Chains A and B, each alone.
Chain A
Amino acid sequence: MKKLFTIVSLIVITALALSACGGGGTQAEDLLAQIMERGTLIVSTDPNYEPQSFLNTEGVRPADTKCASDQLTATEMQGFDVSVAVEIGNRLGVETCFATPSWDLITAGSWADKWDISVGSMTIKPSRQEVLYFTTPYYYYVAIAAALADSDLDSIDDLSGQAVCMGAATTYEDWANGVLDIPAEDIYYQPPANMTTVPLETDQECAQALAAGRTDFVAYVTAEPVVDSNIANGLPVKKIGEPLYLEKLAIAIDKSASLPTATLLEKLNEIVQAMHDDGTLSTLSLEWYGLDLTKAPGE
């Protein structure tokens, strides 16, 4: 008995020690080289948002895909961010695969090499720049507040002293808490006094909770295209007041990646610029949003 257990525990300890030493043994000299070698670009995007990125429930996984089993293929996803990511993959000459971690895991950095880049309509801001590298923006939209269509709220100041909902770890939550750290000229409105916040898992829960008759909050803050999509999907909501701030949306790379990322970042910037110049981004934006959101305001 004694011997049996000693042997078993020795095996367990050695296995742990061995696995701790293993892994991370790649020959590629940087992340770009590894992507080319692997033949797949692993993109994280949160499939909770229509029309940015959402699941294509009719999509069939191609049999010859190089994507790993816990990644989704381009046919199983759809949306603006998805189309942009696929186009980037095409221009690199590799297949685009999608990893689907929750949003707060993406913005927190430390991706542990589970995916290469984020193409997820992420707003550039300094606190995220501490853990992530950003490319130049690939498109822009504004944040806005929305409430039930039959409510008597019609300006931002009406939200003073009220509870307002937003997705957790979003810039909307930062704005509401007065800690949004984007350039001052991009912020058009400061949050009204005594506004309280209700952070839910995603912005989408806010709109649905209001529509379902919950009264824990009176309004929600999210991206203007999200409110447009809420209205298009038949939710009884309306925008209130003016845009709150400008979101410059970019592709992100993890700073803690185990391989150097400088060449990948440079290459992505080149591709984004080329997609701006040849009108690819405008075409995709018109396709998914019905508007060209690829020009910075005042450009």
Chain B
Amino acid sequence: MSTEEHLAKEKPKKSQADLLYEAQVRSRRRFSLQVILSWIALLALLIFIFSGIEFSIGSFTVRTIDLDSDFIKENLAFIAGGAGQTILICVMSIILATFLALMAALGRLSKFAPIVALSSFYVSLIRGTPLYLQVFFFFLALPQLGIILPGLWAGVIALGLNYGAYMSEIFRAGLSSVGKGQREAAFALGMTSGQMMLRIVIPQALRFAIPPTGNEFIAMLKDSALVSATGFVHELMWRATKVGRAQFNNLEALIIAAVFYWIMTLIFSSLQSRLEAYMSRGER
């Protein structure tokens, strides 16, 4: 047997560092498996609480919440049909909110006093009043000006304006995160202030601002339920309350809606964490 053959047969010996690394990976895997198993256990517990099962152990009786399963079967598809409307409202509102937030954030940094006043007035007014009230305001007040918006648009405007005010703070932080040196370099290259904003500052600020915007979108998914209060937007919450009330099964109807809100939130949260990972990779 030659020396080469001998070497090939022998297992390559792992270094101490490799062994340590593998042990770490193993324990990390074990940990996330434990998290997943605990999740499943918690979910099973939650389902058990709503199972309607009742039993006694000795003198101790265990009671769970009893739901009308016939009602759920009959109305599940109808209530779920509102999910599309919910997502549509959120997508349109987030587009409006992003535009408004960018405008308000740029306005706050302006050197022209009325513009600074306009944007800080907007942010203060909207953040200082409840969203529920704003939804009714656009529904009831605008017709007096001759602007009669369909219920959906009144809702989108209210949600967009509200979230725009909150998101303007995120965008402002994003804009101020771009170093002064970047602006100075842009000027040194002979850019106008408009070019500097569009080509240098905003692209860098967006990278900072997009992940939190995803977060706002997820919050909005749930706040969109308020838009149904005027009765003209037939989204998830509206369908759930109307069907529940007419058939005296509010609890069942609301639980169906809750499940769909949760599923939507889970989906968008996972998209959001991917986006976040993608964005942070770009920063290197």
Interface residues of A in 198-255 (CB under 8 A from B): 202, 204-205, 207-208, 211-212, 230, 233-235
Chain A CB count within 10 A is highest, among B78, B230, B231, B243, for B231
Interface residues of B in 106-155 (CB under 8 A from A): 106-107, 110-112, 114-115, 118, 140, 143-148, 150-152
A113 to B221, CA, bound (A): 30
- The reply on B232 being an interface residue by CB < 8 A is yes
Interface-located stretch among A17-25, A264-272, A275-283: A17-25
Least CB distance from A205 to B in Å reads 7
Interface residues of B in 233-250 (CB under 8 A from A): 233-234, 239, 242-243, 245-248, 250
A48 touches B242 (CB 8 A): yes
* Option from B74, B147, B239, B247 in Cβ contact (under 8 Å) with A23: B147
B246 touches A54 (CB 8 A): yes
* Option from B103, B143, B193, B251 in Cβ contact (under 8 Å) with A1: B193
Give the nearest-CB partner of A3 in chain B.
B194
B229 touches A102 (CB 8 A): yes
Report the interface size for chain B: residues with CB under 8 A from the other chain: 41
Report the interface size for chain A: residues with CB under 8 A from the other chain: 45
A69 to B148, CA, bound (A): 14
Give the nearest-CB partner of B155 in chain A.
A70
A50 touches B230 (CB 8 A): no
- The reply on A296 being an interface residue by CB < 8 A is no
* Option from A50, A99, A114 in Cβ contact (under 8 Å) with B143: A114
Q: Chain B residues near A207 (CB, 8 Å)? A: 248
Interface residues of B in 184-239 (CB under 8 A from A): 193-194, 197, 229-234, 239
A55 to B81, CA, bound (A): 13
* Option from A5, A23, A47, A99 in Cβ contact (under 8 Å) with B246: A47
A105 to B140, CA, bound (A): 9
A70 touches B147 (CB 8 A): no
Q: Chain A residues near B230 (CB, 8 Å)? A: 101-102, 105
A174 to B54, CA, bound (A): 43
* Option from A101, A113, A204, A205 in Cβ contact (under 8 Å) with B231: A101
Give the nearest-CB partner of B233 in chain A.
A70
A2 touches B148 (CB 8 A): no
A9 touches B243 (CB 8 A): no
A19 to B153, CA, bound (A): 15
Q: Chain A residues near B114 (CB, 8 Å)? A: 9
* Option from A23, A72, A99 in Cβ contact (under 8 Å) with B148: A23
B107 touches A5 (CB 8 A): yes
- The reply on B75 being an interface residue by CB < 8 A is yes
Q: Chain B residues near A23 (CB, 8 Å)? A: 145-148
* Option from B111, B143, B229, B243 in Cβ contact (under 8 Å) with A113: B143
Chain B CB count within 10 A is highest, among A8, A100, A101, for A100
A54 touches B242 (CB 8 A): yes
A101 to B146, CA, bound (A): 19
- The reply on A6 being an interface residue by CB < 8 A is yes
Chain B CB count within 10 A is highest, among A20, A47, A50, A234, for A47
A49 to B151, CA, bound (A): 22
Q: Chain B residues near A20 (CB, 8 Å)? A: 145-147
Q: Chain B residues near A208 (CB, 8 Å)? A: 248, 250-251
A148 to B87, CA, bound (A): 41
Give the nearest-CB partner of B146 in chain A.
A23
Give the nearest-CB partner of B136 in chain A.
A105
A8 to B102, CA, bound (A): 13
A236 to B207, CA, bound (A): 59
- The reply on A286 being an interface residue by CB < 8 A is no
Interface residues of B in 147-182 (CB under 8 A from A): 147-148, 150-152
List 6 A-B pairs, Cβ < 8 Å.
Answer: A70-B234, A100-B232, A101-B230, A105-B231, A202-B245, A212-B251
Q: Which 6 A-B pairs have the closest CB atoms?
A: A112-B143, A54-B246, A23-B146, A57-B78, A101-B231, A204-B245
Known: A1-B193, A5-B110, A235-B248. 9 other contacts (CB 8 A): A5-B112, A6-B112, A19-B146, A48-B245, A54-B247, A70-B150, A72-B234, A207-B248, A234-B248
- The chain B residues found within 8 Å of chain A, CB to CB, are 74-75, 77-78, 103, 106-107, 110-112, 114-115, 118, 140, 143-148, 150-152, 193-194, 197, 229-234, 239, 242-243, 245-248, 250-251
